[in-house]
Every structure is written in structure tokens, then in C-alpha cells.
């Protein structure tokens, strides 16, 4: 087994016993990228020209090769959100998570591909072209953190950062057969995460197993005075929650998630997972999240409204792309804004900016944005009611396995509906994760989603770890 | 039957004042909040609106805003939230301004303004907090505009009146009264030249007796209170003329042109404003407790109106003098400090509003910066009253005191400026003057008494002003009688 | 019902110069999506408070303490065009 295929906790063990060095591991990852990425296209940019980012520090606690998503700012390193409009943008500052990773000695591999501004579920909306699913190169890796998930699944990194606004960590984790965690809103600082929807965005880990997820979460979590929405609560050592004991835990199965549209193979895998956890002593009951069917509609109003405003700063004035107008239409400055934004944004970005602008525009606010915020309350209340009586909720991560590249690009609504199981979690601000729970007959991974209440990441990781220890899905390797 | 020209018009004015706070840092980031630095030297990723950055609210900005709200006798919101006002302009880095839409920090306040007969209540509709934008400089040489973001993120409070003002003069009086209150609060420089206080006006004109407002125009680009008044007068006349001609006013924004002394239509924005306000998700709500408000209330200063009345009652000053003193809080305080040491309020007031005011003016400074203490000033005044120095010399001494920071005693001693009252020394001087001016002496003896003044002047010159001129006159008279 | 004219108005607000065919396509897309979103109208939300933040965090301040700013050259480093220490943009006419 080559070093790049190992997990972080395995590597740390080998370094401790002097069986390998951080540099050897890093080189092994770099060779894997050279060998495989022309096929997978997980990266939009490596750190080759930015040696600082991969320099080993003397007292490094976690000198682990780490992949960054292209929407998290690293000082001096081009960060583009896989968009033309941010071409050449080098942030003059580090995101808080990057600062924390640097402090613990991370060795950066590069920035992973994503749907432009995290708008999508397939990575097909990247200005750099789609990433590919390591399990089947004709399939999408999911999105928007598709590059991060594909990099982890194809062993082109040890672990990666992603961001999750409506499932953007969990769905690609599911499609690529890796572990992906969306922490409680406010658990991880958003400072330096280029915003999609501020009230929903959260950074989280994509890893090869649950232990690594706990380790990476330990590094990136915590209160940040630079983010007003970050929560000032102590961060536990998440690895301590990996006890393997779920006896007596009450787990809810929401009946609304097992309906029409759920792929039978996915259903079977999740039902099998329930049996595994039952055998470990967990208690299951059917629960109801009655407003689930409204989550996608609610999400697409709130997320696009916030996005339309968050993306207003891409105007060609201070950074990134500027297109000059060829002829005068309105006024020189307005023409520059409009040409820049026309040339710089891809089709999906324009679609979402338009939708968000529409729902906030004069006369529509109450009917769309305000109503969506109220339904958001109902969705949140649904979870509160279930968690009054349950420790966790278990669902499929996505209704299907990875779909073919190009399959849904002409049907935005169908694409939006592929996030149907993940979206409500972001609306409620609660933590959730995906981990592998089987494969389809076609050999594509299936993801299991575990959801808990605010700040109950420990319970979530404990359930996931217990399941993982009882199965060996996480040990399967995609051959690229 | 009334003819067109007999119509009686009434003017309705509302003002929007933008006030920059003089907090140390900007409202949502730690950049210094200073005026006049090199362009783009006071910015950071946050106020430049770089992708990924987030705002964090300045505690002191909220405190200042509550102070203003209380000074305006307004209701302070118990929950404060921010909203995004979305529009594109190169001086607005994020493409939205963080402002307050439906829950302003203050509403339903008022201030009293003086009128010819008594005073009038001007309602404050609302006041809210927001971030200032950057500055655009139009550079005709390179046919482009240049943007400086130093000002971006300066805490700004917008104070909006009810349409209670009925004339340009009232608008002017409101502004001066408001400015004085705000200066007393010490939350802003209130300097229109530096843009720390700015004013836009809404004006409409209707016939007396009408109950609904007619179409208003919005006036911008006035750079002084006087300009606000003149622009309103211009616009008031324009509205009346339009109505008299049987035409209608168009709702629009007009810019005051200082050079042409007229308002002109602002090139109409290519589309109507649709700001798409929504709650700022990057900031959390802020809860203001009644305890907190009470605590801040305790720190409020005595306001100008109260101070004016107290100065009149406590020190027996007349309305004019008291009014001059309260125009500058520091001067009024200095006055009171002086009165504690030396119980001659009227004399102290005269010095402050006369010689000291002149010094402040010529030095373009303020009383706090001048190197003079109440102790030193009152000591100087006492010396004049005791005849140690003449009033004239005292003014020179004051200048020297301010230049050097020394006391009057030291300066008088060093420069030998005490009045010469030694008769023998003066006799000697008079001898010399009489000897040197036999012609004048002859004229006086012939009865031209007024020529005596010339001799006094000569003697004063000779003593470098140290002699008491009255005494000199008496001595000369005595000598000529005896001669 | 969303019309081509609505889409043009929204594009103006969003400052995107859309081509005619894009407008056509977006009109259809938005029609579909808004049609789907209509399902929210089935819910009675008259008694429901809106949620802006998922967690009830309040009163997060910073102290009024100066932190270092960027140098002028760092501030302008990403600027598409600059002149005399300022960001240069096409003429803004008032």
C-alpha cells in the first residue's frame, strides 16, 4: 500500500514510530496527483508554485497533506471559486481554518475543483470543466465539493476541506464513497470562506474514515472573533467520542425520506445499515419531519437571495476580471459592471443571481423571501420535535448514486432535487455527515447520512464510527 | 374670486443629516477611522469587501448611536438588526451597504429650535446606523474615475426629520441647533468641510390650507448650512413659480451647484431604485437593555439649552453673552472653571468672547489646545483690574502667554511690562518730552488743550506703554500750569 | 407568470448584460423554478416567526481598537487598473 492511500491517523502513527516522514507522504501524494489528475480533474491548482504552503514546520503536530476547496482563502495563493470572474485573485489574508491548519503544520496540496461559487451538485458548473468520479470517470463526483471528494477518493490527498450550503460536502462524499461532515452552523469559522449563502454555509472535512473526520474537525473548529456568527462554545476532542458504543441510543428514521424517487439500491443499503446499528444496540423508531417536502423550495429562495447579494462584489473594480464595454449602452461604469458580470459568471451562477434578485425585488419580498424564512422556522421546529425524543436521525445522503456527466445539466430543477435529503439540515443549522454504506450493482458508492441536534457532533461521530467499525466499505479503494 | 398671483404658499421641508462618528476604528473592521490620509492606506480585506471577509460590529459605534438617540429624545429600539441595501456603485465595495431598514436604532424623537418669538418642536422621524461609502475622484486628465476606500466603513448615523420645517430659515436653525447638540455629545467632529456632517433636503410647496403634501424634490450636494438654506430658497421659489405657471413639479433629485447658485437635475439614474433590503445574515441581532440605556443616559452631557439657562441664572450673564459661550462647550466649561477661581463672570466672559476668541480664530485652534489655563487667564485679568498692567499691554501679554505657556507674572517680570507709576521716573520722561517739543508746549499754553494728547502719546512711546496714560496727562497739565 | 420584460428588469438590477438567447432561456428556467416554489403557498405561515439565523446568537461586538491596515500597494494588488494609489474605473458621471 502506498503512503498516499493511508489515512491521516495511520500516517501520524508511522511518523511517530519513524517509519515514514511527512515529506515522503507529501511526495507520494504529489506523484499520485501527477499520475491521476489528468483523468480525475480534482484540482484546479496545485501548490507547486507556492512552496511555502508545503514547507514542513519543525513542531508540526499534523503535517498532513491537505487539499483546500477553491473557495477558501489562502494568503497569496490564487483562489477563484472555480469562476472566471475571480481569475487571478490572490487573497491578502488567510481564512481562519487555513490559519488553524498552518498552525498545526498542514502541507497544502492544492485547491480542489468545485461548482462555480458552490452553485451545483455535480462540479459540472466549474469554469474549469467537470471533475470526474474516481469510481466511474463518466459519472459526476457530486458537488459542489466534488473536487475535494474526488481527490480524497482517488488518494490524491490525505484529507480535504469542503464547504456545505445545502449538501455540498455530504452529497459528493456519498457519490465518491468518502466521509464528509457538515458541522453545526457556527462551529467552524466562515471567515475566509467565499460566501455563497451566509446563513447556511459551513466548512467541513472530507476524509477517508470517521477517525480522520474527527481529527480534522478538532483542528478547524472553534470560536472566531472575526465571524460574528461563530459560536463561543468549547470544542471537545472529537476523537474521544469514537467509543464504538451506541447501546441505547435512539435513532429516528424519517418516513418522508423513504418515498418515491429513492433508488431501491440506496434504500436497501440504508436499511442494511440500520440492521448493523441495531445489532450494536441502537434503538430505531420511525419519526416524521412533516415539512421536508418544502425544504428544496425554501432553500432555493433563501440561498439564492443571499447569493445574489454576496456576489454583488464581483463588479470588476477591486479584483478579478474586468470587461470593458465595446460600445456605450447605459453609462461607462454601468456598462463595465454589466459586461464583467456577463462574461465572468457561468450559466448557473447567473440563474441563481437572477432568482435571488427576483425574490428580493420590490413587491416580491413578502411572497418569497419572508415566506421562505417562515417555512425555515417550521423545518427547524420539525427537527427540534424529533430531537426531543431521539439522539440522531438516519437517512440516505442522496436519493441516488452518482449520475452521468451531462445527465442533468439541462434540467436545473432535477439537479436541485438531488439535494433533497441534505438541504433541510442547513436550514436548521444542525450537524450531519455522510459515510459509505455500500455500493450499487454498477459499483458506485452509496452514502448514509447521520444527523444530530446542534453541537451534538460527538453523538453523530460515535454512531458513524460504530457503523464504520462493523463494516469495511471505507476500505474499498477506487482504481483510477 | 382669487387670481393666480394671490395664492398663498406654504413650504414643507424635511432634512436628512448624515453624521460620521469619531470612533477610533471603522464600524465593522479595525481600520483606523481618520480623515485626510493618502488614498487606500486605511483599508483591510474587510472594508475593501474582499471575498470571504465578514463584518464585526464596533461596540463604541452602538454606544454613540444610543447617545445620539437619547439626545434627540427618541425611542431606542430594544432589538437592533442590520439589513443589506443592495445597489451597485464603485464606491460601495460589497455591492451592498450594511444599513438598517425596518428597525432603526431610534425613532419618534424631537429637538426644540429657537424661533423669533419662542421655540418650535421639530420631530425626528428616525435615526439609523450604517457604513459610509468610499470616495470617487473624477480625473478628467485620464478620462476615468479614481476610487479611494479610506472612508469606507466609517460609522454613519442618518438622522431624518419629520416634514416639520416650514422655511429655509427654519431648516438652517434646525441644523445649527442639531449640530450644537451633537458637538456637545462629542461623538463626531461635525465638520461639513471634512464631510463628517452632511445634509440632504426634501422640499415641497403647497397652498396654505392643503392637508396632503405635494410632489417633493430631493436636494443634494450642499457643502455648508448656508448652502442648504440658499438651495432651499432657490428650490422654494422654483416650486412656486412652477405652480403659478400652472405646471407641475417632477419628483427628482437635484444637485446644488455652488458656482451657479442654483439646483440642477441630477442625470436621472437609468432605473428606479429597488434596493432589495433583507436582514444581514453575517451579523447577529443586538439586544439593548433598559439598564444599558440608563447607564449611557448617565454619561450624557448638559445640553446647550440647559447650559444657556444655567449660565444666565448662576452667573447673571445676559442672553447674548451666555449664548456666545455655549456655542463651544469647551469655552463654556473654561468660563466656569475661571469663575471658580475669580468671581468676576462678566469680565471673564468679555475676555473669552473678545481677546481669547480672537486668539483662537487667528490660530485656527480651540481652547483646549491653547496653552492657557483658567488659573493663568484669571491671574492676568486680576492684574488689569489692580492696575498692574494696562488693558492694552495685557492683550500682548496674553499673546505671549499663549505662545509660551508661561504665566503673566513671569512674562511681566521678564519683559519689564509692569506699569511705571514711579513719579520721579515719569517726571524725567516728561522733562525730555517738553524739551523736545517746544512748539507743542507753546500751542498748549495758547489754549489748544487738545495738543496735550500728542505729548501723552510721546510719553507712552518713550515708556514702551508701561506708563498709565491718565496719570501722564495729569502730570503734564500740572507741569505746564506751574511753568 | 414571469415575462421576458421581468427578466430584463431583474438582469438590470443584478447588473448582468444578458444576451437575448440567455434572456429567453432564463425566462423558461425561472418560470419552472418559481412554479415549483409555488408549493410554499400551501402553507399557512401567518402565525410563524421568520428565521434569519439558525442559532440564537446575540450581541457579538468588537472593541474599538485599531488593527493594522493593508499597505496601499497590498490594497491595490488585485486591482484590474490603478492610478496614483487609487482604483481606476471607467468614468462615473454625475
| CA-based nearest residue in chain B for residue A74 | B52
CA distance A454 to A384: 10
What's the confidence (pLDDT) of residue A104?
A: 96
Residue B201 host element (H or E): strand B197-207
Contacts of B368 (CB under 8 A, 6+ apart): B330
CB contact under 8 A, A376 and C50: yes
Neighbour count for residue B437 (Cβ, 10 Å)? 16
For chain B, give the mean pLDDT. 91
Q: What is the pLDDT of residue B2?
A: 47
Total of domains in chain A: 1
CB-neighbour burial class of residue A286 (10 A; exposed 0-12, middle 13-18, buried 19+): exposed
Record: contact A309-B55, CB cut-off 8 A:
no
CB–CB contact C12 B279 (8 Å): no
What domain range is A452 assigned to?
1-480
- pLDDT tens for chain A, 480 residues long, are 799 999 999 999 999 999 999 999 999 999 999 999 999 999 999 998 888 898 888 889 999 999 999 999 999 999 999 999 999 999 999 999 999 999 999 999 999 999 999 999 999 999 999 999 999 999 999 999 999 999 999 999 999 999 999 999 999 999 999 999 999 999 999 999 999 999 999 999 999 999 999 999 999 999 999 999 999 999 999 999 999 999 999 999 999 999 888 999 999 999 999 999 999 999 999 999 999 999 999 999 999 999 999 999 999 999 999 999 999 999 999 999 999 999 999 999 999 999 999 999 999 999 999 999 999 999 999 999 999 999 999 999 999 999 999 999 888 888 888 899 999 999 999 999 999 999 999 999 999 999 999 999 999 999 999 999 999 999 999 998
User: Per-residue confidence at B420, pLDDT binned at 50, 70, 90?
Assistant: low
Is the minimum CB–CB distance between A193 and chain B shorter than 8 Å? yes
**B269 interfaces chain C, CB cutoff of 8 Å:** no
CB A207 within 8 A of CB A197: no
Q: What share of chain B is helix, strand, coil (3-state, %, to 5)?
A: 40, 20, 40
Whether A333 sits inside 8 A of B86 (CB atoms) is no
- Per the omega criterion (within 30 degrees of 0), is the bond before A144 cis? yes
Closest CB to B145 among C15, C70, C92: C92
Q: Which of A378, B287, A373 is nearest to C57 (CA)?
A: B287
Q: Does residue B264 sit at the C interface (CB-CB below 8 Å)?
A: no
Report the candidate in B83, B169, B158 with the shortest Cα–Cα distance to residue B125.
B158
Provide the CA B255 distance to its chain's centre, in angstroms: 24
- Preferred mutation among A76, A91, A228, A357 to probe B, highest tally of B CBs within 10 A: A228
* Minimum mean pLDDT range among A389-403, A423-437, B378-392, C63-77: B378-392
What is the sign of the dihedral through the CA atoms of B414, B417, B421 and B427? positive
Cβ neighbour number for residue C33 with a 10 Å cutoff: 23
d(CA A65, CA A15): 13
CA distances from A281 to A245, A277, C9 (A): 8, 7, 59
End-to-end Cα separation, chain A, in angstroms? 15
Subunits with 3+ Cβ pairs within 8 Å of A are: B, C
Grid cell of A402 as nine digits: 452518482
* pLDDT over 60 at B3, yes or no: no
Q: Out of A41, A69, A99, A102, pick the active-site residue.
A: A69
The reported pLDDT for the residue numbered B405 is: 83
Beta strands in A126-237 (DSSP E): 159-164, 179-182, 202-207
For the cut 90, the answer to whether the pLDDT of residue B466 exceeds it is no
Q: Is A168 designated active site? A: yes
By the CB < 8 Å criterion, does B101 face chain C?
A: no
How much is the pLDDT for B1? 45
Say if B136 is an interface residue toward chain C (CB within 8 Å): yes
Report CB contact under 8 Å: C7, A354: yes
Q: Of the ranges A460-474, B2-16, B374-388, which is most confident?
A: A460-474
Could you tell me how many CB contacts below 8 A there are between chain A and chain B? 106
How far is B193 from B188, CA to CA, in rounded Å?
13
Is pLDDT larger for residue A71 or for residue B117? A71
Give chain B's domains with CATH numbers.
Answer: 4-293 (no CATH), 302-386 (no CATH), 423-482 (1.10.10.410)
- Measured in whole angstroms, the distance separating CA A207 from the mean position of its chain's CA atoms is 11
HSE toward the beta carbon, residue B32, CA cutoff 13 A: 12
Q: Which of A144, A147, A118 is nearest to A306 (CA)?
A: A118
Q: Using the beta-carbon criterion (under 8 Å), do C30 and A329 form an inter-chain contact?
A: no
What's the confidence (pLDDT) of residue B361?
85
Q: Is A350 a catalytic residue?
A: no
CA distance linking residue A449 with residue A219, whole number of Å: 23
Distance (Å) from the alpha carbon of B266 to chain A's nearest alpha carbon: 14
Choosing from A75, A122, A126, A144, the catalytic residue is A144
Count of all residues that appear for chain A in the document = 480
Cβ(A264)–Cβ(A272) under 8 Å?
no
Percent of chain B with pLDDT over 70: 96
Contacts of B270 in chain A (CB under 8 A): 330-331, 334
**Most distant CA atoms of chain A, gap in Å:** 71
- d(CA A60, CA A62) in angstroms, rounded, equals 6
Look at residue A300 and give its three-state secondary structure. Answer: helix
B interface toward A at CB cutoff 8 Å? 45, 48-57, 84, 86, 88, 90, 93-96, 145, 147, 270, 274, 276-278, 281-284
What distance in Å separates residue B194's CA from the closest CA in chain C?
19
Q: How far is CA C40 from CA A292, A294, A374, C36, C64, in A?
A: 12, 7, 10, 9, 44
Report the SS3 class of residue A468.
helix
CB–CB contact B276 A357 (8 Å): yes
Q: Report which of A296, A252, A249 is spatially closest to residue A395, judged by C-alpha positions.
A: A252
Q: Is B265 an interface residue toward C (CB < 8 Å)?
A: no
Instruction: Decide yes or no: CATH 3.40.1650.10 for domain C1-43.
Output: no
pLDDT band at C91 (very low <50, low <70, confident <90, very high): very high
Q: Which ipTM score applies to this complex?
A: 0.97
Cβ–Cβ below 8 Å for B51 and A333: no
Residue whose cell numbers read 494588488: C77
Chain B residue closest to C71 (CA)? Answer: B41
CB A194 within 8 A of CB A115: no
Q: In A, which residues are within 8 Å of C14 by CB distance?
A: 308, 341, 353-354, 357
pLDDT 10s digits, B288-326: 999 999 999 999 999 999 999 999 999 999 999 999 999
What length does chain B have?
A: 483
Stretch C43-56: mean pLDDT: 95
Q: With an 8 Å Cβ cutoff, are C67 and B31 in contact? A: yes
Instruction: List CB contacts (< 8 A) between C92 and chain A.
Output: 331-333
CA distance A31 to A48: 12
> What does the domain layout of chain C look like in residue ranges?
1-43
A69 is catalytic: yes
Distances (CA, A) of B467 to A194, B347, B396: 80, 23, 15
Q: With an 8 Å Cβ cutoff, is A179 touching chain B?
A: no
Q: Which three cell numbers stand for residue C3?
A: 415575462
Question: Please, how many CA atoms are within 13 Å of residue C41, restricted to the half-sphere of its CB?
Answer: 6
Amino acid at each position: 500500500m502506498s503512503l498516499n492511500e493511508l489515512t491521516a491517523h495511520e500516517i501520524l502513527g508511522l511518523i511517530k514510530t519513524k517509519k515514514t516522514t511527512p515529506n515522503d507522504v507529501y511526495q507520494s501524494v504529489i506523484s499520485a496527483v501527477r499520475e491521476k489528475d489528468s483523468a480525475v480533474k480534482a484540482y484546479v491548482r496545485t501548490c507547486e508554485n507556492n512552496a511555502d504552503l508545503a514547507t514542513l514546520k519543525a513542531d508540526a503536530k499534523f503535517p498532513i497533506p491537505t487539499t483546500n476547496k477553491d473557495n477558501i482563502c489562502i494568503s497569496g495563493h490564487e483562489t477563484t471559486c472555480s469562476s472566471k470572474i475571480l481569475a487571478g485573485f490572490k487573497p491578502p489574508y488567510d481564512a481562519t481554518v487555513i490559519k488553524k491548519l498552518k498552525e498545526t503544520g498542514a502541507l497544502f496540496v492544492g485547491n480542489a475543483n468545485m461548482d462555480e461559487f458552490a452553485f451545483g451538485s455535480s462540479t459540472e458548473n466549474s469554469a474549469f470543466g467537470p471533475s470526474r468520479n474516481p469510481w466511474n470517470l463518466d459519472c459526476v463526483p457530486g458537488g459542489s465539493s466534488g473536487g475535494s471528494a474526488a481527490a480524497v477518493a482517488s488518494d490524491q490527498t490525505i484529507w480535504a476541506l469542503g464547504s456545505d450550503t445545502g449538501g455540498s460536502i455530504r452529497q459528493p462524499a456519498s457519490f465518491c464513497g468518502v466521509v464528509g461532515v457538515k458541522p453545526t452552523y457556527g462551529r467552524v469559522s466562515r471567515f475566509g470562506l467565499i460566501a455563497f449563502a451566509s446563513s447556511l454555509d459551513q466548512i467541513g472535512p472530507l476524509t477517508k474514515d470517521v477517525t480522520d473526520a474527527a481529527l480534522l474537525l478538532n483542528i478547524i473548529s472553534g470560536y472566531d472573533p472575526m465571524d460574528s456568527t461563530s459560536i463561543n462554545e468549547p470544542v471537545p476532542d472529537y476523537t474521544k467520542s469514537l467509543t464504538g458504543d451506541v447501546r441505547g441510543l435512539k435513532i429516528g428514521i424519517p418516513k418522508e425520506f423513504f418515498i418515491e424517487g429513492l433508488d431501491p439500491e440506496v434504500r436497501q443499503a440504508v436499511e442494511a445499515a440500520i440492521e448493523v446499528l441495531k445489532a450494536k444496540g441502537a434503538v430505531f423508531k420511525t419519526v416524521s419531519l412533516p415539512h421536508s417536502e418544502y425544504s428544496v423550495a425554501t432553500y432555493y429562495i433563501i440561498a439564492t437571495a443571499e447569493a445574489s447579494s454576496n456576489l454583488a462584489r464581483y463588479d470588476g473594480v477591486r479584483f478579478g476580471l474586468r470587461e470593458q464595454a465595446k460600445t456605450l449602452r447605459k453609462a461607462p461604469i454601468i456598462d463595465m459592471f454589466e459586461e464583467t458580470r456577463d462574461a465572468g459568471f457561468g450559466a448557473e451562477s447567473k440563474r441563481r443571481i437572477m432568482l435571488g434578485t427576483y425574490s428580493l425585488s420590490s413587491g416580491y419580498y413578502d411572497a418569497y423571501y419572508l415566506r421562505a424564512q417562515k417555512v425555515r422556522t417550521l423545518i427547524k421546529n420539525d427537527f427540534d420535535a424529533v430531537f426531543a425524543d431521539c439522539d440522531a436521525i438516519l437517512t440516505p445522503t442522496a436519493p441516488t448514486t452518482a449520475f452521468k456527466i451531462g445527465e442533468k445539466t439541462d434540467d436545473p430543477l432535477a439537479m436541485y432535487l438531488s439535494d433533497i435529503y441534505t438541504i433541510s439540515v442547513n436550514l436548521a443549522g444542525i450537524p450531519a455527515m455522510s459515510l459509505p454504506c455500500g455500493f450499487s450493482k454498477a459499483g458506485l458508492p452509496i452514502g448514509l447520512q447521520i444527523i444530530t441536534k446542534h453541537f451534538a457532533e460527538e453523538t453523530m461521530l460515535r454512531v458513524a464510527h460504530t457503523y464504520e467499525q462493523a463494516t469495511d466499505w471505507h476500505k474499498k479503494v477506487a482504481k483510477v | 374670486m382669487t387670481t393666480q398671483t394671490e395664492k398663498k404658499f406654504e413650504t414643507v421641508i424635511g432634512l436628512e443629516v448624515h453624521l460620521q462618528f469619531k470612533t477610533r476604528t471603522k464600524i465593522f473592521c479595525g481600520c483606523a477611522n481618520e480623515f485626510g490620509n493618502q488614498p487606500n492606506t486605511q483599508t483591510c480585506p474587510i472594508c475593501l469587501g474582499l471575498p470571504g471577509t465578514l463584518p464585526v460590529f464596533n461596540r463604541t459605534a452602538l454606544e454613540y448611536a444610543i447617545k445620539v438617540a437619547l439626545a434627540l429624545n427618541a425611542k431606542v429600539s430594544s432589538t437592533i438588526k442590520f439589513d443589506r441595501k443592495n445597489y451597485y456603485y464603485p464606491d460601495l465595495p460589497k455591492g451592498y451597504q450594511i444599513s438598517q431598514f425596518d428597525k432603526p436604532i431610534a425613532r419618534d424623537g424631537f429637538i426644540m429650535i429657537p424661533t423669533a418669538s419662542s421655540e418650535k418642536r421639530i420631530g425626528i422621524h428616525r435615526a439609523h446606523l450604517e457604513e459610509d461609502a468610499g470616495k470617487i475622484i473624477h480625473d478628467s486628465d485620464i478620462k476615468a474615475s479614481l476610487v479611494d476606500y479610506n472612508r469606507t466603513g466609517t460609522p454613519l448615523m442618518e438622522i431624518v426629520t419629520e416634514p416639520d420645517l416650514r422655511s429655509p430659515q427654519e431648516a438652517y436653525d434646525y441644523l445649527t441647533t442639531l449640530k450644537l447638540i451633537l458637538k456637545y455629545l462629542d461623538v463626531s467632529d461635525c465638520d461639513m468641510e471634512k464631510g463628517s456632517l452632511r445634509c440632504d433636503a426634501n422640499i415641497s410647496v403647497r397652498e396654505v390650507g392643503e392637508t396632503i403634501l405635494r410632489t417633493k424634490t430631493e436636494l443634494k450636494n450642499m457643502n455648508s448650512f448656508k448652502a442648504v438654506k440658499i438651495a432651499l430658497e432657490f428650490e422654494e421659489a422654483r416650486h412656486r413659480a412652477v405652480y403659478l405657471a400652472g405646471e407641475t413639479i417632477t419628483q427628482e433629485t437635484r444637485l446644488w451647484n455652488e458656482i451657479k447658485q442654483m439646483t440642477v437635475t441630477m442625470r436621472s439614474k437609468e432605473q428606479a431604485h429597488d434596493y432589495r433590503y433583507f436582514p444581514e445574515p453575517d451579523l447577529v441581532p443586538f439586544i439593548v437593555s433598559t439598564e444599558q440605556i440608563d447607564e449611557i443616559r448617565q454619561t450624557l452631557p448638559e445640553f446647550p439649552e440647559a447650559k444657556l439657562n444655567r449660565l444666565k441664572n448662576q452667573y447673571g450673564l445676559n442672553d447674548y453673552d451666555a449664548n456666545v459661550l455655549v456655542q463651544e462647550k469647551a469655552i463654556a466649561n473654561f468660563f466656569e472653571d475661571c469663575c471658580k477661581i475669580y468671581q468676576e463672570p462678566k469680565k471673564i466672559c468679555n475676555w473669552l468672547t473678545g481677546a481669547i476668541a480672537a486668539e483662537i480664530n487667528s490660530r485656527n485652534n480651540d481652547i483646549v489646545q491653547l496653552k492657557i489655563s483658567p488659573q493663568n487667564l484669571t491671574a492676568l485679568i486680576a492684574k488689569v483690574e489692580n492696575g498692574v498692567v494696562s488693558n492694552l499691554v495685557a492683550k500682548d501679554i496674553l499673546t505671549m502667554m499663549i505662545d509660551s505657556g508661561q504665566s503673566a507674572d513671569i512674562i511681566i517680570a521678564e519683559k519689564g511690562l509692569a506699569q511705571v507709576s514711579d513719579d520721579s521716573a515719569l517726571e524725567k520722561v516728561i522733562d525730555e518730552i517738553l524739551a523736545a517739543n517746544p512748539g507743542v508746549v507753546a500751542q498748549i499754553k495758547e489754549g489748544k488743550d487738545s495738543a496735550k494728547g500728542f505729548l501723552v502719546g510721546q510719553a507712552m512711546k518713550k515708556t514702551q506703554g508701561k506708563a498709565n496714560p491718565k496719570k501722564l496727562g495729569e502730570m503734564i497739565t500740572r507741569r505746564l500750569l506751574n511753568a | 407568470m414571469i415575462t421576458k420584460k421581468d427578466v430584463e428588469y431583474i438582469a438590470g438590477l443584478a447588473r448582468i448584460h444578458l444576451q437575448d438567447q440567455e434572456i429567453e432561456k432564463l425566462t423558461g428556467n425561472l418560470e419552472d423554478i418559481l412554479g415549483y416554489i409555488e408549493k410554499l403557498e400551501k402553507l399557512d405561515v401567518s402565525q410563524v416567526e421568520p428565521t434569519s439565523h439558525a442559532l440564537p446568537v446575540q450581541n457579538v461586538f468588537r472593541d474599538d481598537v485599531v488593527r493594522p491596515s493593508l499597505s496601499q500597494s497590498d490594497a491595490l494588488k488585485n486591482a484590474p487598473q490603478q492610478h496614483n494609489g487609487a482604483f481606476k474605473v471607467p468614468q462615473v458621471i454625475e
